[in-house]
Structure 1
Amino acid sequence: MEVKGIITAMVTPFDENQRINADATRQLVNTLIHSGVSGLFILGTNGEFHLLTNDEKIAFAKIVIDEVNKRVPVYVGTGGNSTSEVLELSKKMEALGADVLSVITPYFLVPSQNEIIQHYKAIAEAVRIPIVLYNIPKNTGINLEPETVRQLAKIKNIIAIKDSSGKLENIEKYIQITKDEDFSVLSGSDSLILSALKIGAAGAIAATSNLITAIDVSIYENFLKGDMEKAEKAQQDIEVLRAVLKLGTVPSILKKAMEMIGIPVGPARLPVTEVKEETVKKIREMLDYYKV
């Protein structure tokens, strides 16, 4: 399958008791699809995968996959530290109907690049569906080196990488080293969507598209049309949201902003706490800028 376009790194809606909110999940899925995203990426960093049990992950994925009903691809995060645990969860998500798996590098421990290769090889051999590598070194303490990605890109069902390093040169190296493979490189840093597209990235997995979906989608669409002026304007517009997102722990600000425009995604899960009142004012100013 071809991985491209703006794929939303979707938040996980909770109710007031911090349980998964199925109705809000369905509402969000439909809102995003109607706004033109190319796919939904669930159980990533903004989806609070690290705070959910495996049973909750499976329950949430089932709601999303059923509601999407093949309208767009669903990318499901199954990464973790234990290879055997990732294998088990990946097989269950494949059985549920996930289109693609997203597998973050192990975190907390710092495996060698060779150990990482063996980890991904084992997962790729255990499932038939495609896999997207997920590189986010500031959170995991590990950077997927270009040579590692070159080797992994040769595995048939490892089809792409989401790079959230925040470094354009990292994206560029991945693009160069995999140019002879059927492999896509995606920006996981919303500030770099257009820059990444210009050097050959296939698209982006963007958290900001939960809220300002049309703006993110327009970067990609205007880039394809060659209207760089509109694409640049849309890229700059993201910065208003990104500046406010820095005022709280991920994904508390994003979820609060979505609540304030009528998408009832609930709070972030503890230990992340509710947004302070003075920050809510900043969020309101940001929403006013976008006229939402």
Structure 2
Amino acid sequence: MFEGIITPIVTPFHRDTEESLNIDAMKNLVDHLIDKGVSGIFPLGSNGEFHVINNEEKMQFTKEVITHVNKRVPVYVGTGACSTKETIELSKKAEELGADVLSVITPYFIRPSEDELITHYTSVAESVKLPILLYNIPKNTRINISKRVLKELAKIDNIQGIKDSSGDIDNLAGYIEIAKGTQLKVLVGSDSKILAGYQLGATGAIAGTSNLITEILVGLDAAYRAGDLSKAEQLQQEIEELRSVLKLGTVPVILKRSVELAGIAEVGPARGPVREPNSETDQRIKAMLSYYQI
């Protein structure tokens, strides 16, 4: 675990009044990703719209994903919430359902102190036996896990990884330095920084773009591990065509529409208030898919 390309899957919804979970589409997406060689499936991340899914739906979706993956690859389940109490409740339930790893985002909306953050993560870790992956995404939470906090949390046996989506290569390098000599693994959470992160010592990446251009991401990982830096650099650059189009809408609506138009799975819309792309944006998406020959 904690290596290779892990896909934070989009959560498929029906185009009905309830924007209900589409389990069949999830199965199609998961099968496609595993067939393409991803190293893990990650439901209920940022691209999975965890922030607009209620807890009953979260556990229903988690159960369905774990059952369908059926141990083919590890399943990383996002269980973070604003309160320690709710995070512990979700983490325990995900553990009972058979998750392999728990991904715990920092609390958001509020800004806990460093000591409060250490207490939060310590309490969550003590409540379960599963490995825990810390999730750092300061552009969304306004909290950046400091080196001091990470040093303290790395002392806890089942805190075994951190995903850094800061986009700051110096921040990532700091985490990798702290991880040396510990059980902690560092995963890249910014798709544009995967190769740079690998060169610093990151062991894998949680890459939203792998929902669509899976072969490029898996190929980048394989090329680097095989020592083919030139190919890895080329594949890293190939991601930029998709990233330029993702900016045309609110996360993750463009990615979901791309997955649909590529014929991978009918993942449906993002939940409101996020709107579906208009016809002009659809044409931009189709041009991007043509670039990748999808």
Equivalent position amino acid for 1:273 in 2: R
* Cα shift at 1:277: 1.4
Structure 1 gap segments, 5+ residues each: none
**Secondary structure, counterpart of 1:248 in structure 2:** coil
- Give the Cα–Cα distance (whole angstroms) in 2 for the partners of residues 276 and 120 of structure 1: 41
Q: Deviations over 1:246-285 (max 9, x none)?
A: 1100000000011101110001011101112111111011
Question: Is residue 4 of structure 1 aligned with residue 3 of structure 2?
Answer: yes
1:268 aligns with 2:274: no
Q: Which amino acid aligns with 2:282?
A: V
1:278 matches 2:277: no
Shift of 1:121: 0.3
**What is the CA deviation profile of residues 175-212 of structure 1, one whole-angstrom value per residue up to 9, with x for unaligned ones?**
10120101100000000000000010001000000000
2:266 is matched by which residue type in structure 1?
P
Tell whether the 8 Å contact from 1:7 to 1:39 is kept in structure 2 after alignment: yes
Q: Which residue of 2 aligns with 1:148?
A: 149
- TM score, norm. by length of structure 1: 0.99
Moved more, 241-250 or 270-279: 270-279
Asked if 2 retains the 8 angstrom alpha-carbon contact of 1:147 and 1:177, the reply is no
Q: Which amino acid aligns with 2:63?
A: K
Alignment of 1:207-222 (within 5 A): 207-222=208-223
Instruction: For 1:200-279, list aligned pairs within 5 A.
Output: 200-262=201-263, 263-279=265-281
What's the C-alpha RMSD, in Å, of the aligned pairs?
0.6
Per-residue deviation, 1:158: 0.4
Counterparts of 1:56 and 1:198, CA distance in 2: 39
How many angstroms apart in 1 are the aligned matches of 2:34 and 2:154? 29
Where in structure 2 are the equivalents of 1:7-26 lying within 5 Å? 7-17=6-16, 18-26=19-27
Counterpart of 2:94 in structure 1 is 93
Q: 2:171 & 2:74 partners in 1: Cα distance?
A: 26
Q: CA deviation at 1:147?
A: 1.4
After TM superposition, the structure 1 stretch with the greater mean CA deviation from structure 2, 194-203 or 145-154, is: 145-154
| Aligned 8 A contact 1:268 1:274 in 2 | yes
Shift of 1:231: 0.5
Residue identity over aligned pairs, in percent, reads 57
Residues 26 and 67 in structure 1, CA contact (< 8 A), matched pair in contact too = yes
- Give the letter for the 1:228 counterpart: L
1:39 has 2:40 as partner = yes
Hey, what does 1:175 align to over in structure 2? 176
Partner SS for 1:268: coil
Whole-Å separation in 2 of the counterparts to 1:86 and 1:199:
31
SS at match of 1:220: helix
Please report how far the alpha carbon of residue 61 of structure 1 lies from its aligned counterpart in structure 2 after TM superposition: 0.5
Alignment gaps of 5+ in structure 2: none
Moved over 6 A (4+): none
| Mapped partners of 2:92, 2:183: distance in 1 | 23
1:258 alignment partner, SS class: helix
Residue 65 of structure 1 corresponds to 66
Residue pair 1:78, 1:89 contacting (<8 A) in 2 also = yes
Deviation at 1:9, TM superposition (A): 1.0
What CA distance in whole angstroms lies between the structure 1 residues aligned with 2:249 and 2:205?
23
The 2-side partners of 1:286 and 1:142 are apart by: 34
Tell me the amino acid that sits aligned with residue 8 of structure 2.
A
Equivalent residue of 2:76, what SS?
strand
